[in-house]
Amino acid sequence: MEYKNIELNDYEAIKALINDDERVLYKEAIGEDYSHDELGAVKKMPDLVVQAACTEDVSKVMKYAYDNNIVVTPRGSGTGLVGAAVPIYGGIVIDLSRMNKILEIDEENLTLTLEPGVLLMEIGKYVEEFDLFYPPDPGEKTATIGGNISTNAGGMRAVKYGVTRDFIRGLEVVLPNGEVTNLGGKVVKNSSGYALKDLIIGAEGTLGIVTKAILKLLPLPKKAISLLIPFPDLDRAIETVPKIIKSKTIPTAIEFMQRAAIVAAEEFLGKKFPDSQSDAYILLTFDGNSKEEIEASYEKVANICLENGALDVLISDTEERQESIWSARGAFLEAIKASTTEMDEVDVVVPRNKVAEFIKYTHQLEEKHEIRIRSFGHAGDGNLHIYILKDALDEETWNKKLLEVMEDMYAKGRELKGQVSGEHGIGLAKRPYLKKAVPEENLLIMKGIKKAFDPSNILNPGKVI
Amino acid sequence: MEYKNIELNDYEAIKALINDDERVLYKEAIGEDYSHDELGAVKKMPDLVVQAACTEDVSKVMKYAYDNNIVVTPRGSGTGLVGAAVPIYGGIVIDLSRMNKILEIDEENLTLTLEPGVLLMEIGKYVEEFDLFYPPDPGEKTATIGGNISTNAGGMRAVKYGVTRDFIRGLEVVLPNGEVTNLGGKVVKNSSGYALKDLIIGAEGTLGIVTKAILKLLPLPKKAISLLIPFPDLDRAIETVPKIIKSKTIPTAIEFMQRAAIVAAEEFLGKKFPDSQSDAYILLTFDGNSKEEIEASYEKVANICLENGALDVLISDTEERQESIWSARGAFLEAIKASTTEMDEVDVVVPRNKVAEFIKYTHQLEEKHEIRIRSFGHAGDGNLHIYILKDALDEETWNKKLLEVMEDMYAKGRELKGQVSGEHGIGLAKRPYLKKAVPEENLLIMKGIKKAFDPSNILNPGKVI
């Protein structure tokens, strides 16, 4: 692919389009942060950064890029884990984090209209004031909603509520040629032509740039309760999960964790978890509108766990206790990261009744490849977060082992009829594994779709496919 | 578009592929039913019908068609309302209604795997035995699940549970070149490349032929209750709906109906509705796991209705009473049809707080165009079903008036930021209105997507776009 290099006259032209010099950064003025996301392993500086303030900014810059064959990479707050926001061909980064206004809450249609740069943690806080609820709950609360849409982020509450896709009613999108279009709207149903909105969701900024979103909200559940359930070992903990699903209760979230992750989180946060004596835990939340409604569910689940070897059932019904548990859960990733020199992750998703088999397999891989592997994740929806840790390995050994472990894990994922990524996306890092997992036919169709949106391949090329 | 005409040697070749003469029908042997769906206004006989019995049948025939440039139209039980299953270019119809086996219920993953020809009414019955629930509930229970997937059918319960798309975990699809591929699976989350599964959903059999589906199930709610609420007039009835939504209760369904529709249904069914004295009604259902849980919701809603002018609140808590109300609701379409010589329908969807405005507008159109218009529909999700009735009009006047009324209605739909179709799809009949409603850019992208799947445009051409 041959793209035009950015030169001084492009900088001048784009400055003139944006009409605010401070929001157009050129070469040396660009901070190092723009060269990477949380993947870390891949870095590349863009030649120009535009900090967009409105849809028009995005549209104008995109149109200029289209007319001049310049490559563009959109970026939210840079918390992605697969390199989707890294400008691997240089060119322009459009930073959407300043487009962070909440535009409208519509209580009659239960929607929230907002710009893509609004952070996930702000959405929850904002809608709660109206007794409303935006269920998707990925661990990374400083991600933007635009980023969440672009990866179809899932999070903890997917067991009961589903993923980001299920809560996007409408999108405003700037297409690769700079045109602004609207997909969906405040409507609840839609069977009007191909599902373009659903294509943009999860496309990691390769088909269009989301500049506005209409989210679906729900009434805020009045009560929530968490159960922390210690088990003598991880197998018994995870094997209980399909039995919970089968029992026809619907927990909001079911997470699993091992002592090692908890201890690391305790150290990292400098505070104690309610219990860290046991080898493995499952953590459940139930929400609903009354204590009675929730109690009926969790008593059933508590009994199932005890029948399947649980050592105890710790109930957290105060906000403080729940906060302490979930903040530890939220710190797992950072804690694991702090415990090693470098790491890489696998975000595979398997059918829920295959989680135990997959985790057991990662333990075999630890021995086989003599490398430390840590995992935690969404036992209730089959989405695992598995971290391969470099520790004291030298660069060469690390790269070799990492590749082998990855190959093994994704092969196992395919064997269990899983998918490469549950919620982090493909970006740059997972492309080889997507290629192996998906039939050639499907990849060709995906390429055709990319071409339909972006015939000159200027929007975030080299990602996903 | 130039397609190869089917000749005797094609018939022989396809018979050899299928290896069961009785399931391959040629010319005169083809029944008239294959020439149309419920749209009625457009008819065209296919040259060959294959009653597929398995995925391989579909794949072989599709591959033959691809190699020979023959046009193929897939068909379920033919209950579509927009002509999507009409073979307007002749060629082959692949009838999927014999692929009607339920393959697996998986209680640990809460999924049901089945063939596309299974009827909607069979799904509900089957999963109930396992205390499970497939929520999508379109009025037409003799539709196939394949048809429901292809139109992204919605139905009554979309208010609480969403539409077909929300309950499709995975699909097996035969592509236009005959290749069989799998999209999604039993996994709960997926961020692995472009959302091809979501593209197939709602594509009305123009991108691929669904040969297997994995549905998401929920635990069956233990209780349900219906409220029939008479109002002195339709405006007051419909204007109450956004207030119900705003009250943060979540009814399963909110339907509106007028006396005329009820009386027609009473005559059609030969049995009485619980009440038909009032001008307008809203009908609500609530479901949940305990009487208390439901009661708290419906008492709140009943009070809101009474405060907003409702004349009464009729509670149906026995299965028999609910059955009598909902069977009348289910008969509306047939009853209206029986009351006139010919009719056409509009399936527009608008934001929920615009339903009243739209219905008022249809009343103005009745006067303006001097034509009878009847409507009922999903007040709770903004999806209206509006029927324009020919009655004693002569053909020429009818065609003229119908066109004018349609133009007016879709213009109003656009003004209210609605969409052309909430759940019936675009097919053949709504193409001109989709073209007006959707930006040129989007249509071009849709055409590009069609090309990515079906470069020779042999699968159900002339539909949707």
Question: Which of A195, A245, A419 lies at the smallest CB-CB distance from B190?
Answer: A419
Q: CB distance A152–B423 less than 8 Å?
A: no
Profile chain B (465 residues) by mean pLDDT over runs of 10 residues.
92 96 96 94 96 98 98 97 96 98 97 98 97 94 97 95 97 98 96 97 98 97 93 93 93 92 87 88 92 88 96 89 82 88 94 94 96 91 95 96 96 96 96 95 97 98 95
| Average pLDDT value over all residues in chain A | 95
**Are B144 and B119 spatial neighbours (Cβ–Cβ below 8 Å)?**
yes
The partner residue sitting opposite B195, judged by closest CB among A182, A202, A353, is: A202
Closest residue to B417, CB basis, from A185, A196, A203: A185
- Residue in B385, B394, B377 with CA at minimum distance from that of residue B341: B394
Task: Pick the more confident residue, A260 or B104.
Answer: B104
> Is residue B141 classed as helix, strand or coil in its secondary structure?
coil
Task: Provide the β-strand partners of residue A253.
Answer: A285
Q: What is the C-alpha separation between B369 and B401, in angstroms, rounded? A: 7
Three-state SS annotation for B181-234: EEEECCCCCCCCCCCHHHHHCCCCCCCCEEEEEEEECEECCCEEEEEEEEECCH
Interface test with B, best of A63, A161, A166, A192 (most B CBs within 10 A): A192
Using a CB-CB cut-off of 8 Å, the residues of chain A touching B293 are: 289-290, 292-293
pTM metric for this prediction? 0.96
Mean pLDDT of A131-139: 95
Q: Which of B108, B220, B351 sits opposite A187 (nearest CB)?
A: B351
Beta-sheet strands, E only, within B259-296: 280-288
Which pLDDT does position B1 carry in this prediction? 63
SS3 state at A151: helix
Strand-pair partners of A240:
none
CA distance A151 to A120: 14
Place of tokens 């490559």: A71
CB contact under 8 A, A421 and B191: yes
What pLDDT sits at residue A355? 94
Domains of chain A: 8-98 (3.30.43.10), 102-219 (3.30.465.10), 222-339 (3.30.70.2190), 340-453 (3.30.70.2740)
pLDDT of residue B213: 98
* Cross-chain Cβ contact A198/B165 below 8 Å: yes
Residue A438 scores a pLDDT above 90: yes
Q: How far is B271 from chain A (nearest CA, A)?
A: 32
Residues B343-362 as b/e (b if ≥16 CB within 10 A, e otherwise) read bbbbbbbbbbbbbbbbbebb
Q: Which of A190, A246, A418 sits opposite B108 (nearest CB)?
A: A246
Would you say B269 and B328 are in contact if contact means Cβ atoms under 8 Å apart? yes
Closest CA to A59 of A94, A8, A87: A94
Task: Average the pLDDT over A281-308 and give the result.
Answer: 92
- Strand B72-75 and strand B48-51: pairing? unpaired
Amino acid letter, B246: K
> B432 contacts in A (CB within 8 Å)?
none
**What confidence score (pLDDT) does residue A377 get?**
84
Tokens of A394: 């030298």
CA distance B61 to chain A (A): 18
Q: Between chains, do B453 and A448 touch, taking CB under 8 Å as contact?
A: yes
Backbone φ and ψ for A345, nearest 5 degrees, come out as: -130, 155
- List the single residue in B with minimal CA-CA distance to A239: B108
What's the pLDDT at B50? Answer: 98
User: With contact defined as beta carbons under 8 Å apart, do A45 and A66 qualify?
Assistant: no
Chains A and B form CB pairs within 8 A to the count of 292
Q: With CB atoms and an 8 Å threshold, state whether A198 touches B195.
A: yes
How many angstroms separate the Cα of B176 from the Cα of each of A412, B69, B262? 31, 11, 45
> Residue-wise over A103-141: b if at least 16 C-beta within 10 A, else e?
eebbbbbbbbbbbbbbbbebbbebbeebebbbbbbbbbe
Tell me the pLDDT band of A1, cut-offs 50, 70 and 90: low
A109 min Cα distance to partner chain B (Å)? 6
A322-371 pLDDT tens trace: 888 888 888 888 888 899 999 999 999 999 999 999 999 999 999 999 99
